[in-house]
Structure 1
Amino acid sequence: MKRARTGGRGSVFTPADFLDMAGRAAVDQALSRLVKGGRLRRLARGLYDFPKVHPKLGPLSPGPDDVAQALARETGSRVQIAGARAANVLGLSTQVPAKSTYLTDGPPRRVVLGKRTIDLRHASPKHLIAPGSPAGTVVQALRHLGPIRATDVVQVAIRQLSARDKKMLAASAVQAPAWMRPTLVSIANTMSGARDG
């Protein structure tokens, strides 16, 4: 319970997060006892959280990013927010998809939490550019919106990305499809232009 509390209310974890403390059978038993005692919540098979509690609504659903990160830690894989959700996160779309889709270099997995679905889709390395970073989110938003909205992506990315994120984008641009490269390079170059000028 102490380990679960360390992440704070809203943290999501799998039994793999506790295997440095005990064997799998002991971890499963301990998690089961904590769920029965109402201290933790079982979200799905092998997935738990220490829920945030609203005074009127009761236990709240965990954030999809927290669920995706917990699933990725379990398999030692990386995840990157994808498509429509990436565009929404950057403020380039008002559409809030009911399904939160992530690309991963690990196994695919789908978790349904009430009305929300968190979908991890296995993707090839060329689709996982700068995974888990703001730079990766920009790449996914651009991929989703296409060349027609590239200027919008540039304007938002220039404002939102740190100098470090822009460096990562510059280093990763070579992995992107040819049509994306000029856009990614122009975002990355705003950093050096600002420093020189």
Structure 2
Amino acid sequence: MAAKSLKGKVKYRVNQSKCSVFTPKDFLDLSDRDHVGRALRQLVLAGELIQFGRGLYAKAKRSKLTGKIIPVKPLPELAKEALTEKLKVTVVPTVEAEAYNVGESTQVPTGRVIAVKGRVSRKMAFDGKSIKYRYVGVDKGSVQ
């Protein structure tokens, strides 16, 4: 039986995973960092994955409206999943989201502003849309 290529192994693991966001670290048990990076780039070119940040990849699908390759989830959801599960950053609701949820505001937040505890230097963007961070103090939720 012929051995599967690294690209095939990575693709299989992506398809079997319940997660939508991946980093090269998720595949380092298969090969070294250079080979994993090459396999991920090949999957991006094939339309299986999209890259939405440095070292951040997400499952992709073809849009039924435009035919373009898009992520399977909206960018704010991908960013929150990447921050909480992959980068181990605490995400809290923004002031605008809380006001909307309580009924104090009728303006629906876009979700592209994410409140985090601590500092994040990772840029996340796709198709001209980017994520902004609002840094919240660790003590009592004060905005910095």
The 2-side partners of 1:120 and 1:24 are apart by: 29
Q: Is contact 1:85–1:100 with CA below 8 Å preserved after alignment?
A: no
Distance in 2 (alpha carbons) for counterparts of 1:13 and 1:19: 12
* Aligned residue pairs, count: 128
**Cα distance, 1:121 vs structure 2:** 4.2
Q: Residue type matched to 1:28 in 2?
A: G
TM (norm. structure 2) is 0.64
Distance across 1 between alignment mates of 2:33 and 2:17: 21
Higher strand content, 1 or 2: 2
Gap regions ≥5 residues in structure 2: 1-10
Q: Which of 47, 53, 60 is residue 44 of structure 1 equivalent to?
A: 53
What is the CA–CA distance in structure 2 between the aligned matches of 1:72 and 1:27, rounded to whole Å?
23
SS for the counterpart of 2:120 is coil
1:88-127 aligned within 5 A:
88=100, 90=101, 92=103, 93-98=105-110, 99-127=112-140
TM-score (norm. length: structure 1): 0.50
The alpha carbon displacement at 1:49 in A equals: 1.4
Separation in 2 of the partners of 1:51 and 1:87?
Answer: 33
Q: Secondary structure at the match of 1:109?
A: coil
Decide which of 9, 14, 20 is 1:4's aligned counterpart: 14
Task: Please list the CA deviations of residues 100-154 of structure 1 after superposition, one character each: whole Å capped at 9, or x if unmatched.
Answer: 22213353434233353322344432256xxxxxxxxxxxxxx89xxxxxxxxxx
* CA contact 2:93–2:115 (8 Å) conserved in 1: yes
Return the letter of the residue paired with 1:26: H
* Cα pair 1:54 1:60 within 8 Å, conserved: yes
Contact 1:108 1:120 in 2 (8 A): no
In our comparison, the structure showing a higher alpha carbon Rg is 1
Per-residue CA deviation, residues 68-97 of structure 1 (Å, 9 max, x unaligned), is 221343333322232213444x36333234
Greater share of residues in helix: 1
Residue 73, structure 1, aligned to residue 85, structure 2:
yes
Q: Aligned pair in 2 of structure 1 residues 122, 21: CA closer, same or farther (>3 Å)?
A: farther
The one-letter code sitting in structure 1 at the alignment partner of 2:78 is: D
Cα distance in 1, alignment partners of residues 31 and 140 from structure 2: 36
Residue 34 of structure 1: CA displacement? 1.0
Instruction: Report sequence identity in percent.
Output: 29
Report the 3-state secondary structure (helix = DSSP H, G, I; strand = E; otherwise coil) of the residue aligned with 1:125. coil
Alignment partners' CA distance in 2, 1:21 and 1:126? 41
